[in-house]
Structure 1
């Protein structure tokens, strides 16, 4: 992939990741929130309990404040790419 700068490269990578793996990205988000049983039923309850005990979602929010500005910029650019793909392909989502 060629891009004029790092921000554009990370945004493009987010777009490509969403194009190829939006289902997996969403599944991982739901799992990290301890809500996997909502999708797969009772067999996901043990995994949900584990992730809820870890409080992963809360820790991610807290840890954001400790990231270096450059890391935040790259992460935000990646997220912008994912969001651009979602906006452009909203009619294709399940």
Structure 2
């Protein structure tokens, strides 16, 4: 979905091919495949099976490259991302519950 204000696709819409995502992230295509094998990224697939990355995927990829750049191994990165995702979900649930009680 393109927003009327900026002409860019929604952050959740998978539009970037693997080569474009790799270039934007400053990593190699094989690195993206490695991250996928470790469950760090799960790009959408086109009907033909081609990987497609979203803006949200690129944001997550930036977080992964930041962590690995700090010397954190992929298993630890996976755990950190899992915990961060849990915290995000819990905060959203907390905010929802607070809104219901007002």
TM-score, normalised relative to structure 1: 0.29
- Select the structure with the greater relative contact order (CA < 8 A; seq sep ≥ 6): 1
1 or 2, which has the higher strand percentage? 2
1 or 2, which has the higher helix percentage? 1
